[in-house]
Amino acid sequence: MKSYYITTPIYYVNARPHLGHAYSTIVADTLKRFHKMLGEDARMQTGTDEHGDKIVKAATAAGVTPQAFVDDISSVFRNLWPQLGIENDGFIRTTDPEHKKAVQVLLQRLYDKGDIYFGEYGGHYCYGCERFYTEKELENGLCPQHLTKPEYISEKNYFFKMSKYQDALRQYILDHPDFIRPERYRNEALAMLEGGVLEDLCISRPKSRLTWGIELPFDKDYVSYVWFDALANYITALGWPDNENDESGNYRKYWPGEHLVAKDILKPHGIFWPTMLMAAGLPLYKHLNVHGYWLVKDTKMSKSLGNVVDPLKAAEHFGLDAFRYFLLREMNFGSDASYSPEAIITRVNADLANDLGNLFSRVLSMNAKYFESKVPALGNQLEADDILSETTDNAAANFVQLFGELRFSQALDALWTAIRAMNKYVDEQAPWTLAKSGDTERLGTVIRTLLENMYKVAYLIWPIMPASSATMQAQLGRPQGPLSEAALNDVLHYRMHLRTGLEIASSSNLFPRLEMEKEEAPAKPKKEKKAPAPKAAPAETGPKAPIEFTDFQKLDLRIGTILAAEQHPNADKLLRFDVDLGEEKPRQIVSGIAAHFKPEDLVGRKVVVVANLPPRKLRGLESQGMILTAEFDGGLSLLTADAPSGSSIA
Q: Supply φ then ψ for residue 445, to 5 degrees.
A: -65, -40
Q: What is the dihedral of CA 246, 248, 250, 252, to 10 degrees?
A: 60
146 has catalytic annotation? yes
Residue 101: what pLDDT? 98
Q: Is 143 a known active-site residue?
A: yes
From the list 32, 35, 129, 269, the catalytic residue is 129
Name the active-site residue from 113, 303, 493, 598.
Answer: 303
Write the CB contacts of 127 (distance below 8 Å, at least 6 apart in sequence): 53, 54, 57, 151
Cis amide leading into 538 (omega within 30) = no
What residue ranges in 77-183 does DSSP mark as E strands? Answer: 90-93, 116-126, 131-133, 151-160, 180-181
In the annotation, is 202 catalytic?
no
Specify the pLDDT at position 540. 45
The residue annotated as part of the active site, out of 57, 113, 146, 493, is 146
Give the per-residue pLDDT at 377: 97
Contact (CB, 8 A) for 126 and 133: yes
What pLDDT is stored for residue 340 in this prediction? 94
| SS3 annotation, 494-563 | CCCCCCCCCECCCCCCCCCCCCCCCCCCCCCCCCCCCCCCCCCCCCCCCCCCCCCHHHHHCCCEEEEEEE
Question: What pLDDT sits at residue 583?
Answer: 76
- Residue 541: the pLDDT is 47
CB 384: neighbour CB atoms within 10 A?
13
Average pLDDT, the chain: 90
Which CA distances in Å does 405 have to 332, 410, 411, 543?
A: 12, 10, 9, 69
Check 101, 300, 374, 596 and give the catalytic one.
Answer: 300
Domain borders along the chain are: 340-493, 549-649
Predicted local distance difference test score (pLDDT) of residue 126: 82
Query: SS3 for 447?
Result: helix
Q: What is the pLDDT of residues 161-171, one digit of tens each?
A: 999 999 999 99
For residue 518, the model assigns a pLDDT of: 63
18 a catalytic residue = yes
Q: Which one from 32, 35, 126, 568 is the annotated catalytic residue? A: 126
Amino acid found at 620: G
Stretches in the chain below the pLDDT threshold 70: 303-304, 518-545, 548-551, 553, 584, 632-634, 650
362: CB partners within 8 A, 6+ apart: 426, 563, 564, 578, 603
**Residue 580 has what pLDDT?**
80
Distance separating alpha carbons of residues 311 and 339, to the nearest angstrom? 11
* Candidate list 21, 259, 291, 606, residue with the active-site label: 21
Q: Is the separation of the CB atoms in 629 and 388 below 8 Å?
A: no
Q: Strands 606-610 and 626-627, how do they pair? A: antiparallel
Whether 535 is a known active-site residue: answer no
C-alpha angle 62-65-70 in degrees, rounded to nearest 5:
80
Rounded Cα gap, residues 489 and 484, in angstroms: 9
CA distances from 533 to 283, 529, 530, 536, 539 (A): 86, 11, 8, 9, 17
Confirm whether pTM is higher than 0.75. Answer: yes
Identified catalytic residue from 143, 269, 369, 497: 143
Residue 166: CA count within 13 A, CB half-sphere? 16
Instruction: Please give the pLDDT value at position 127.
Output: 74
d(CA 491, CA 502): 18
Q: Which CATH number is 549-649 given?
A: 2.40.50.140
259 as an active site residue: the answer is: no
**CA proximity to 341, closest of 367, 359, 315, 371:** 315
By DSSP bridging, strand 587-591 and strand 557-567 are unpaired
The domain 340-493 belongs to what CATH superfamily? Answer: Isoleucyl-tRNA Synthetase; Domain 1 (1.10.730.10)
Please give the Cα distance from 352 to 349 (Å, whole number).
6
